[in-house]
Every structure is written in structure tokens, then in C-alpha cells.
Amino acid sequence: MRYTLSMTDEQVEHVWGAIAKFQTLAKAKYAAGAEQHGGNLWDHDEMWLIDQALLECADQWMYLITLRDKIIARRTVTITLEEDGTPIQKTSPGKSS
């Protein structure tokens, strides 16, 4: 497959690395789901498939909102003063651990 977009070597390396990670993860997730639910995925009812996708969406929301909250909690608050002594509150990213 050829790509018509111009990418830097670094971008190409990034995208292929991400695709390789996805392939590994997707194969493992698919195998676990097949063992858990049994049968072929394409043999399940359409509404069951939608319901499963919605449950996965809810899981993803919880993971993302929790990650977002953790990132926000790491931010530090610094207070600087104007020349006249008026405080200015400013947030800046904290160091990640």
C-alpha cells in the first residue's frame, strides 16, 4: 500500500510502530473475546454487537476521563505578583513521574 501524503522518516516510524502495537493488542483482545463469548464474532446478533461496542465505549470513557483527571491533578499552581503586589494565579504543568 502506498501513501500519497508526504511524511518524515520520524512520522513513518511512528505510524508503523503504532500499527504494530495495535496488531499485537488486537490479536490478543480478539482471542480473549472469542474465548469469553464463544463462537464467531460475525455470527452474533447485530444488537448484541452494538451493545458490546457501547460497553467498550463506556470503558474507554472511564479510562480517558480518569487519565485526564490524573494529568490535571499533577499540574502545579504558581502565584506571581504584579509590580503593585496584585497576585496573578497561573497554572503550569507539573513534572510527570
- Quick: pLDDT tens for 59-89: 999 999 999 999 888 886 666 777 787 777 6
Residues 93 and 67 in one domain: yes
pLDDT attached to residue 4: 57
User: 28 lies in which domain range?
Assistant: 8-41
Residues 60 and 33 in one domain: no
Q: Which residue has the higher pLDDT, 93 or 77?
A: 77
Domain annotation covers residue 86: yes
Per-residue pLDDT tens over the stretch 8-37: 999 999 999 999 999 999 999 999 999 998
Q: Is-above-0.85 flag for pTM?
A: no
Q: Which three cell numbers stand for residue 79?
A: 502565584
Alpha-carbon gap, residue 68 to 71, rounded angstroms: 5
Residues 33 and 70 in one domain: no
Residues 54 and 73 in one domain: yes
Structural domains in the chain (count)? 2
Q: List the beta bridge partners of residue 84.
A: none
